[in-house]
Amino acid sequence: MAHFEPTPLPPPIPKKCDWEIDPVELDFSNAAMIGKGSFGEIVKAYWRGTPVAVKRILSSLSDDRL
């Protein structure tokens, strides 16, 4: 049985807040809806190879008034 070392990931971009993720880093190629509500839907996606839950806000609610 072969042993594979995990590939080190680069640190987050230093000029962003710790919780802020660059949307271009999200992989929706195998996304699956896991929930839906009045403000949008929750989908399972991947960020740097890690499964994450992403809330997609409804386009009708995505303006600056909120």
Where is the binding site, in residues? 55
List Cα–Cα distances, 27 to 2, 6, 46, 58, 64, in angstroms.
Answer: 28, 19, 5, 19, 26
Annotated binding-site residues for ATP read: 55
Tell me which DSSP letter residue 4 carries. Answer: -
- Strands (E) across the chain are located at 26-36, 40-47, 50-57
